[in-house]
Homo-oligomer: A and B are copies of this chain.
Amino acid sequence: MATPSLDYGTLFAKNLPAAAQPWGGFPRYNFVGGHNNPDEIPIEELIASSTRVLRREGRSLATYNMESGPLGYTGLRDFLVEKMAHYRGIRASSDEVLITPGSNPGIDLVNEVFLEPGDTVIMELFTYQGSVGRVRKRQVNIVGIPLDDGGMRMDALANALADLRQRGVTPKYIYTIPTVQNPTGTIMSTERRLEMLRLSQEYGVPIFEDECYADLIWEGEWPQAIRALDTSNHVIHIGSFSKSLSPAMRLGYILAPWSVMSRLVACKNDSGTGALGQLIVADFFQNHYEAHMDRLKASLRQKAETLMAALRTHFGAAIEFRVPRGGIFLWVKFPEGVDTMKVVGPALKEGIAFNPGSEWATDPAAARNYLRLCFALPTDALITEGVAKLARVFHQEVGIPA
């Protein structure tokens, strides 16, 4: 006699997210997800690094955290201190660096330490979906600050802070992606960074600086990180190896003053970040950081050119976008009245995936006529083909291009 099966529905917690569907594989024209360029995975160098570190430090795999303690592998933290000093102007000690399994778990940790239901945070109006979703899940209010070509507008930030103070609200942090902003691609000037720091000091609100894309500037100046300009302790800074090397490896980091770090470490209850990624990436980047980044950025710039050319060819004057100075995505503006969300389904039927603007904003309505296209993963041929098909879908669904 068959055993009756258990009905789990009655046992689940309330308010769970909707059940996942079985994974169906990547769409053919994949313009979502922050993937990297498969041609630029440095396979032979990674093999050399793994051989070297396993022979040198393999025995440490027998212990939690490889005898480096809960902050993560010492070799990787030492590399990060040097990298942040050289490329971001940041003076820090390796005791202020915590390795996390990607930047998302880093954001989760910061949120766990700071946020409670009913709190308020400030963000760019158009910003990373994952950060918005994480804050909303904690029932925290978001004040979105508009951007222009120079990133978050400081006049609008000042007004928002003054307005919140008048209402008796101290926001828990100002979250910003100042360097290759996601999704707009803007790079904030040093003047604005200094002004943001001044406001942070005036209002006693820390800055949560997300520099996941800062390694990927391929043209023009690199302004120093906000953390580099801070003469005190006002900035919590996070970064990632997902964009500089591999999203699959799940490696990121938090740089924070010890008064915050000691809380982050106390909340990080995952028994450490995976060892093999830390060991291998530390050795690889200690030896090849600059050469690898130069190759990767050249390839990304080439793909960005291909994407922009295809968009100009197939969408013409119907759309606007800013020529990016770095990164892996393009933020494309359609005429007012167009809702790109309506095109998601029809595009997927043609094998094309893109991010509708309304999912990449603190106020969905404000970004309804935008979309985000990631260009690192698809080949030049697939980019060109995909954009041509996407233009046909948009024409059918919303009459644009005409």
* A177 interface residue per 8 A CB criterion: no
Within 8 A of B (CB), among A15-74: 16-23, 25-26, 33-41, 43, 46-47, 50-51, 54-55, 58-67, 69-71
* A6 interface residue per 8 A CB criterion: yes
Interface footprint category on A: 35 or more
From A60, A65, A206, A267, residue with most partner B Cβ within 10 Å: A65
CB distance from A55 to the nearest CB of B (A): 6
Measured between alpha carbons, how far is A147 from B324 in the docked complex, in Å? 64
* A116 interface residue per 8 A CB criterion: yes
Measured between alpha carbons, how far is A95 from B21 in the docked complex, in Å? 11
Which residue of the partner chain B has the closest CB to A269? B104
Measured between alpha carbons, how far is A114 from B60 in the docked complex, in Å? 36
* A166 interface residue per 8 A CB criterion: no
CB < 8 Å neighbour of A55 from B23, B43, B269: B43
**Interface segment, A182-190, A273-281, A301-309?**
A273-281
Known A-B contacts A101-B270, A102-B270, A114-B13; A247 and B64 likewise in contact (beta carbons under 8 Å): yes
Known A-B contacts A40-B62, A275-B249; A201 and B4 likewise in contact (beta carbons under 8 Å): yes
Please provide the 3 A-B residue pairs with the shortest distance between their CB atoms, ordered closest to farther: A23-B69, A248-B275, A274-B274
What are 20 residue pairs bridging A and B, where the CB atoms are less than 8 Å apart in the complex?
A: A2-B232, A4-B201, A5-B232, A20-B263, A20-B265, A36-B62, A36-B63, A47-B50, A47-B54, A50-B50, A50-B276, A61-B245, A61-B246, A62-B376, A64-B247, A101-B250, A101-B274, A104-B271, A247-B272, A274-B276
